[in-house]
Amino acid sequence: MPSRGPVRTDRPPRCVARTVPPPRVIVTRVNEARVPQEPVSCARCGRTADPLPVTWTCSVENGRREYFCEECARANIRSIEGRLDSSWW
């Protein structure tokens, strides 16, 4: 194969790979955790706690926050994960 002569380095090559811009990421803020200042009580059994234990479950039903103790949450975990209102369980 015959040589085409010296390679020019003063200009870019003809075949240039296009750079693909990174995908746009939309960041939305989820409600920040709100810790109640007053003692809380379980909406199911009435047990109270101050401060709020990390093992308790919080649920928003009809626009109100309701808290469930660990025992009530464990007993009704399938209904909670199925997003059923507590009146159903």
Over residues 31-67, the pLDDT tens digits come to 555 677 789 999 999 999 988 898 999 888 888 888 9
Distance separating alpha carbons of residues 53 and 67, to the nearest angstrom: 10
Task: Quote the radius of gyration of the chain (alpha carbons, Å).
Answer: 30
Q: What is the pLDDT at residue 63?
A: 84
* pTM as predicted: 0.55
pLDDT averaged over the chain? 77
Flag whether pLDDT at 10 surpasses 60: yes
Q: What is the mean pLDDT of residues 12-36?
A: 64
Of residues 15 and 82, more confidently modeled: 82
Strands (E), 22-84: 40-41, 48-49, 57-61, 64-68
Give exposure, 70-85, as e/b (b: 16+ Cβ within 10 Å). Answer: eebbeebeeebeeeee
Question: Residues with Cβ < 8 Å from 88, sequence gap 6 or more?
Answer: 79
